[in-house]
Amino acid sequence: MAKVLVVGSGGREHALCYKFSLSPNVDEVFVANGNGGMDDVATVVNIDPMDFDGLIQFAKEKEIDLTFVGPEIPLCAGITDAFKKENLLIFGPSKAASQLEGSKCFAKDMMQKYDIPTAKYASFHDYETAKEYLVQQTCPIVLKADGLAAGKGVIIAKTMDEALKSLKEMMCDDLFHDAASSLVIEEYLEGEEFSLFAFVNGEDVYPMQIAQDHKRAFDNDEGLNTGGMGAYTPVAHLPQSAVNEAMEKVMKPIASAMVKEGMPYQGVLYGGFMLTDQGVKTIEFNCRFGDPESEVVLQAMTSDLYETIMQVLNHETPEITFSDDTYIGVVMAAEGYPLSYRKNIDLSDLKLKAPECFHMGTKKTADGLVSSGGRVLFISAGAKTLKEAKEKAYERVHQIEREGLFYRSDISDKELLKETN
Is 163 an interacting residue with respect to ligand AMP (CB under 6 A)?
Answer: no
Site string for ligand GLY, 193-222 (x = CB under 6 A): --------------------x---------
* Residue 151 lies near ligand GLY (rule: CB under 6 A): yes
Q: Which residue type is seen at 192?
A: E
Report the candidate in 287, 275, 125 with the shortest Cα–Cα distance to residue 190: 275
**Which of 110, 90, 89 lies closest to 99, judged by CA?**
110
Q: State yes or no: residue 73 binds ligand AMP (CB under 6 A).
A: no
Which of 283, 310, 381, 405 forms a contact with ligand AMP (CB under 6 A)?
283
* 104 or 359: CB nearest ligand AMP: 104
* Residue selected from 11, 93, 102, 228 as contacting ligand GLY according to rule CB under 6 A: 228
Q: Which of 146, 182, 181, 188 is nearest to 163 (CA)?
A: 188
Max Cα distance, the chain (Å): 61
Does 291 engage in binding with ligand GLY (CB under 6 A)? yes
- Does 284 contact ligand AMP by CB under 6 A? yes
How many C-beta neighbours within 10 Å does residue 191 have? 16
Nearest-CA neighbor of 358 among 30, 37, 2? 37
Report helix, strand or coil for 270.
Answer: strand
The reply to whether 65 sits near ligand AMP by the rule CB under 6 A is: no
**Position 186 contacts ligand AMP (CB under 6 A):** yes
Stretch that binds ligand AMP, among 89-97, 187-195, 322-330, 366-374 (CB under 6 A): 187-195
Q: How far is CA 134 from the centre of its chain?
A: 29
| Residue 65 interacts with, from ligand GLY, ligand AMP, none (CB under 5-8 Å by kind) | none
Q: Is 264 in the site for ligand GLY (CB under 6 A)?
A: no
Start-to-end CA span in the chain (Å): 50
Size of the site for ligand AMP (CB under 6 A): 16
* 147 lines the binding site for ligand GLY (CB under 6 A): no
- Cα-based torsion angle of the residue sequence 50, 54, 57, 60 in order, rounded to the nearest 10 degrees: -50
DSSP category for residue 322: B
- By the rule CB under 6 A, 96 interacts with ligand AMP: no
**228: partner contacted, choices ligand AMP, ligand GLY, none (Cβ within 5-8 A by kind):** ligand GLY
Output phi, psi for 340, to 5 deg.
-70, 135
Q: Which stretch binds ligand AMP (CB under 6 A): 148-156, 160-168, 335-343, 393-401?
A: 148-156
- Reduced to 3 states, what is the DSSP secondary structure of residue 285? strand
Pick from 385, 393, 345, 341: nearest CA to 368: 345
Residues that bind ligand AMP (CB under 6 A): 119, 142, 144, 151, 154, 156, 186-189, 193, 215, 225, 272, 283-284
Residues that bind ligand GLY (CB under 6 A): 151, 213, 227-228, 286, 290-291, 293
